Amino acid sequence: MKSYFSTSIPTFCLLSIMAITSGFTRATKSDSEWLAAEAKALIETGWWSNYTRAENHCTWPGIQCNAGSVIEIDLGGHGLNGNITPQIGALSKLQLLNLSWNSLTGELPSSLGNLTQLAVLDVSYNHIHSIPLAIQKMENLVSLSLSGNFIDYNASAIGLLTNLTHLKKLVTLNLRYCYLSGPIPPHIGKLERMVHLDLSNNRLVGQIPSSVSNLTNLASLFLQYNQLHASIPHEIGRLKNLVTLDLSFNMLVGPIPSSVSNLTNLASLFLQSNQLNGSIPKDIGRLKNLVELHLSFNRLSGHIPSTLGQLTNLESLYLHHNQIISVIPHEIERLKDLKYLDLSYNNLRGPIPYGLLDFPLETFTGNKDLCGSTQGFLHCPSTKHNLPVVILVPTFLFFVSTFALVIFILFRRYRSKTLKSDPSPTKNGDLFSIWNFDGKIAFEDIIKATEDFDSKYCIGTGSYGSVYRAVLPSGKVIALKKLHLLEAEQPAYDISFRNEIKFLTEIRHKNIIKLHGFCLHNRCMFLIYEYMENGSLFYALSIDDEAVELDWTKRVNIVKGVAHALSYMHHDCNLPIVHRDISSNNILLNSELEAFIADFGTARLLDPDSSNQTVIVGTYGYIAPELAYSLVVTEKCDVYSFGVLALEILMGKRPGELLSTLSSSSSRVQNFMLNEILDPRLSTPRTRKMARDIAFIAVIAFACLRTRPKARPTMKLVSQEFLHNKQSPIAIPLHEISLIELKNHEMFMGDENHK
C-alpha cells in the first residue's frame, strides 16, 4: 500500500513548523541563571545521568540549542523508561520534544503546559496512560503524536478530543492505537488547520460527524479499524484537498455518497470491509489522481461503471466479495498502470475483456456467469451471426434430417477406422502437454536433456522420487521429479504422484509451484515444474551464507507469500485443499528469494459430506497435535504447520525446543524476550517498520499454534491482515516483548467461529 501523506512530520519540515511559532529568543549574559536552571532540569529528567551541570548541555546527545537555550529534544528510540519528570516544563523555549518509541510510563506532567512555544510533541509508542488538561495551553502546537499509548481519558474519545480542540494551530494529530472508545465529538471540526488526522485502530463508535467537513485543509483522514456505523456523511465531499481517505474495517452502511467524486485530489480510497450497499457512483471517473481503490467485502450491487476507465493513474482496483451484477466494462482495459485487480465473488456475467486475461485466475473466480478464453471459464458463445429467428427456423427444418443422416454415417466410418488402426508414435516419442510453453515437448527431449536421468543432474530427493535439473532445447531450465521404477510399483507412491498432478493442474497462485507438465510413460513417470534457483527454504536457513542473504525483508515476504497461498487453497478453491505437509522443506525459493509452496503429494480435498478421517502424514514437528487422537484433517492442521514455519523463519532454525519450553511450566519461560529467539546471523532490525513486522509475524505465529484448533485463526484472516498492512498490535521494542505476552495475546481471540 502506498503512502501519499506521511504519518508524521519529517525532519526536513521541522524548521518550517518552528517558523510558525513565536520565534527564537536569544539569551544574554544576564540569562546565565536561566541557562543553569535549564541544565539542572535536564539532569533531573534522568535521561542524561552520565553528564554533569558543568558541561555545556547543548552538546549532550539529542539536544539542540539556540543562543544557549534548548529548543529541541530528540530522544526517539533511546530506551528511556520511567516517568516524564515535571522538570521538563522548565524548558520554556522548547519547540520540539520527541520521546517516541521508548518505555516511558505514567502520565504526561501538567508542567508541559508551560511549554507555550512547543510546536512538535511526539510521545508515541510508550506506555503513557493520561494526558493533562494543561496540554491545551500549548497554543503553538502544530504536530501532536500520542499513538500507541493506552490512554484512559475517562474511557472515551470525547474528553481527549474536546480538550485538544483548543489547539487551534494543530496541523497533524496522530492518535492511532490509543484504545479510545466512544463517538468522535462534533468539536473535531474546530481544528480547521488540520492536514493529517489519524484516529485509526481504536474503539470508536457512532457516526462520522458531518463537522469533519470543516477541516478543508485535510490531506489525509484515517479512521480504519474502528466500530463506526451509520452512513458516510455527504459533507465529506467538501474536503477538496484530501489525498488519502481510509474508512475501512468499520460497520458503515448505506451507499457511497456521490459527493466522493468531488475529491479530485484523492489518490487512495479505502472503504473495504464495511456494510456499504448501492452502486459505485458513476461520477467516480472524475477522480483522475486515484491510484488505489479498495471497495471489497461490502454489499455493493448494480454495475461496474464504465467511467472507471477514466482513472488512468489507477494501479489497484479491488471490488471482490460484493454483489455486483454486470458485465466487466471494456473501458477497464484502458488502465495501463493497473497492477492489482480483484473482481472475484460477485455476480458478474459475460466475457472477460481480452486485455484483462493476463491477470491470474483468482481475479475472476466466484463469478459463475463469466466466460472467456482463459483457464477455468467456459468459452463465450459466438455472436457474429444474429439472423432473425423467422429466417433461421425454416432453413433449419429443411436441413435437419439430412444433416443428422450425414453425421450418423460419418460417425460410423470414423469409429470403424479408429477401432482398426493402431496409434502411431510421433517423431520424438510419446508427447505430453507442457503448459505455458508453445507446442509440445517430447519425451525423448527430456531423456536427452538428463542423459536418461543420470545422477549428475539430480539436485535432491523429495518425499517420493528424485528431482533433476534439465535444460530444454529452447534453453528453458526446468525441474523434473521422477518416480523410480520400484516406487511406481508401490500403490502409496503412485497415489501421491497422481495426487500431485490432480491438484497442480487445477490450481493457480503466484506462490504455488507451477506444474508445466507430466508424463505417464511405460519406462518412467515424472512431473515437470518451473525451476527454483535457490532450492528449499530449509536449505537456505541451514547454510550461514544463504541465511544471511535471506534478510528480514525477504523473510517477512516469505511468510506473507505462504499465508496468501494457503488462504487461496483453503478458501478460494471449489473444495478446500489441505496441504498436510507445510514445512521448510516444501517451501521453494526462486532467484528473487520469493516463496512457493511445493510437494502436493499428501494434499487432500475437504469434502463436507465426508468424515475427512486420515492417516497421519507430514513432517515431524509441524503436525498439528489434534491429529494424534482425532485423525480428522481440517484447514486448521495447515494453520498449525504455518505457525511452526513462521517461527522457524524468524529463528533461523526449527522451533521444536522453543515450543516444548513454552508448553512447560518452567519459570524461566517468563524471561524469554522476542529479540532473544531471532536468528542471530542477522543484525537487529534497523527500522521501526521492520521491527513491527517481525512482532506482527510472531503474534500471528503464536495464534496459529494454539492447542485448540478453533482458537486458531483461519488463513484467510491471516492473509487479510497482511494485505491491509496492519501494524503490529504490540507497539514496543522487540527486547521488551516477552514470549508469554505473544503466546497469550488477544489477537484473533474472537475468531473461533471462522472455520
Q: Are residues 489 and 598 part of one domain? A: no
Kind of pairing between the strands at 103-107 and 81-83: parallel
CA 276 to chain centre: 22
Same domain membership, residue 523 and residue 556: no
Kindly report the three-state secondary structure assignment for every residue of 631-660. CECCHHHHHHHHHHHHHHHHHCCCCHHHHH
541 and 524 inside one domain: no
Look at residues 334, 358, 379 and tell me which one is the last residue of a structural domain. Answer: 379
DSSP, collapsed to helix, strand or coil, labels residue 525 as strand
Same-domain check for residues 574 and 719: yes
Classify strands 103-107 and 63-66 as parallel, antiparallel or unpaired: unpaired
Residues of the chain with pLDDT under 50: 1-30, 153-155, 383-391, 393-394, 412, 414-440, 665-667, 750-755
In a domain, 715, yes or no: yes
CA pair distance 324, 369, nearest whole angstrom: 12
| Mean pLDDT across the chain | 80
Q: What CATH number is attached to the domain comprising 494? A: 3.30.200.20
Catalytic residue among 581, 599, 638, 693: 581
Are residues 511 and 645 located together in one domain of the fold?
no
The three-class DSSP label of residue 680 is coil
CATH at 700: 1.10.510.10
CATH number of the domain within which 365 lies = 3.80.10.10
pLDDT at 670: 56
What gap in Å lies between CA 646 and CA 624, rounded to an integer? 15
Are 303 and 372 in the same domain? yes
pLDDT digits (tens, 9 = 90+) for 380-423: 875 444 444 444 544 555 555 556 555 655 554 544 443 333 33
**How far apart are alpha carbons 4 and 72 in whole angstroms?**
27
Does residue 364 form part of some domain?
A: yes
Helices (H) and strands (E) in the chain, counts: 17, 35
Task: Tell me how far apart the alpha carbons of residues 444 and 442 are, in angstroms, rounded to a whole number.
Answer: 5
Q: With respect to residue 346, please indicate whether it lies within any of the assigned structural domains.
A: yes
- Regarding whether 492 and 369 lie in a shared domain, the answer is no
Cα→Cα distances 602→474, 588, 614, Å: 33, 17, 11
Q: Are 269 and 290 in contact (CB under 8 A)?
A: yes
The binding site comprises 481
The helix or strand, by DSSP H or E, that contains position 448, with its residue range, turns out to be helix 443-449
Angle formed by the axes of helices 635-651 and 688-704, nearest 10°:
140
Chain centroid to Cα 605, Å, comes to: 26
Question: CA 603 to CA 568: how far, in whole Å?
Answer: 14
Q: Could you tell me if 629 and 652 lie in one domain? A: yes
Instruction: Tell me the C-alpha distance between 266 and 273, whole Å.
Output: 20
Asked if residue 277 belongs to a domain, the reply is yes
CA distances (Å), 163 to each of 114, 115, 121, 133, 188, in order?
16, 17, 16, 7, 10
Q: How far apart are CA 236 and CA 262, in angstroms?
A: 9
Segments in 470-581 forming alpha helices (H): 485-488, 491-504, 537-542, 544-549, 552-571
- How far, in Å, CA of 547 to CA of 150, rounded? 38
Q: Tell me, yes or no, whether 642 and 687 share the same domain.
A: yes
The predicted pLDDT at position 599 comes to 85
Does residue 185 lie in a domain region? no
Structural domain boundaries, residue 333: 253-379
User: Is 550 domain-assigned?
Assistant: yes
Separation CA 448–CA 429 (nearest Å) = 12
Q: Which three cell numbers stand for residue 253?
A: 452502511
pLDDT in tens, 706-716: 888 988 999 99
| Cβ neighbours of residue 361 closer than 8 Å, sequence gap 6 or more | 374, 375, 376, 508
What single-letter amino acid sits at 177? Y
Query: Is residue 297 assigned to a domain?
Result: yes
Q: At what angle do helices 635-651 and 715-723 cross, to 10 degrees?
A: 50
Total of domains in the chain: 3
Residues 517 and 570 in one domain: no
Q: Return the beta strands (E) in 564-632 as ranges.
A: 577-578, 587-589, 595-597, 604-605
Burial group, residue 647, by CB count within 10 angstroms (0-12, 13-18, 19+): buried
> Is there a single domain that holds both residue 554 and residue 677?
yes
List the grid coordinates of 203.
Answer: 474503539
Does the annotation mark 751 as catalytic? no
Q: Is residue 352 part of a domain?
A: yes
Cβ atoms 313, 291 nearer than 8 A: yes
Write the Ramachandran bin of 125: left for phi over 0, alpha for psi from -120 to 50, otherwise beta: left
Are residues 547 and 526 both part of a single domain? no
Out of 480, 511, 530, pick the residue that ends a domain.
530
Residue 582 CA from chain centroid, whole number: 20
For the annotated binding site for ATP, the residues are 481
Contact (CB, 8 A) for 432 and 519: yes
Residue with cell string 528431482: 467
- Which residue, among 50, 147, 56, 171, has the nearest Cα to 98 in the 3D structure? 147
Of 333, 348, 379, the one marking the end of a domain is: 379
Neighbours of 321 (CB within 10 A): 19
Q: Which of 641, 658, 661, 654 lies closest to 701 in space, CA to CA?
A: 641
Other beta carbons within 10 Å of 636: 23
CA distance 140 to 190: 16
Biggest alpha carbon–alpha carbon distance for the chain:
118
Three-state secondary structure call for residue 314: coil
Give the chain's length: 755
